[in-house]
Amino acid sequence: MRMQFFVALLFLLLTLYFMLKHVLISKKSRHLGISVLCYIMALLSKENGLAFVILIPLTLYFITKEKFIVILKLSAPYVMVAVTYIAVRIMMIGRNNNEVTEVMDNPYVLASLSEKYATLLLVFLKYIQLLIFPHPLTYDYHLIRSHIEIFRICGFCSLYFFTC
């Protein structure tokens, strides 16, 4: 894993720590400020910290006994930081969602539609099988180069039943 995941995780955990310390122990605004600052640092490290906009109110709801309005007020700084982050990101990068044409980034870019969905189905079934009987375990199941095509299979099945 890369270092930014760990840095983001550290800052997100510090965000939760200082937020809960503010709510449960001290009620000092300093802890809330440190928590928001840690959240900013987490977003600048890795953008998957945006999920904490949802997780922070849920954490407050299930761990504390605060009222819903108080939870919304405590969550407001994090929402403002997230909205600001998204706005700055859009201003810097733009809204263009360029299509990925590299095989390493999109393994199905060279596959036909039937090959893509046949591979997705096969991988899904492989994961179900691994849930039941976890052998062999490996880290790379994503593009199993099988020559299964849904339409060809249907064609062969129909020819078989037609000749019988």
Q: What share of the chain is helix, strand, coil (3-state, %, to 5)?
A: 70, 0, 30
Count CB neighbours of 65 within 10 A: 9
Per cent of the chain over pLDDT 90 is 53
pLDDT (tens digit, 9 = 90+) per residue, 91-117? Answer: 988 877 777 778 788 888 888 999 889
Residue 45 Cα distances to 3, 17, 38, 140, angstroms: 9, 18, 10, 26
pTM for the predicted model, two decimal places: 0.65
The overall average pLDDT reported for the chain is 85
The reported pLDDT for the residue numbered 45 is 93
The reported pLDDT for the residue numbered 7 is 94
| Residue found by looking up tokens 């997230």 in the block | 82
98 versus 45: which is more confidently predicted?
Answer: 45
Structure tokens at 100: 């990925």
CA 36/CA 56 separation, integer angstroms: 11
How many Å is the Cα radius of gyration of the chain? 24
pLDDT (tens digit, 9 = 90+) per residue, 50-101? Answer: 999 999 999 999 999 899 999 999 999 999 999 999 999 999 888 777 777 7
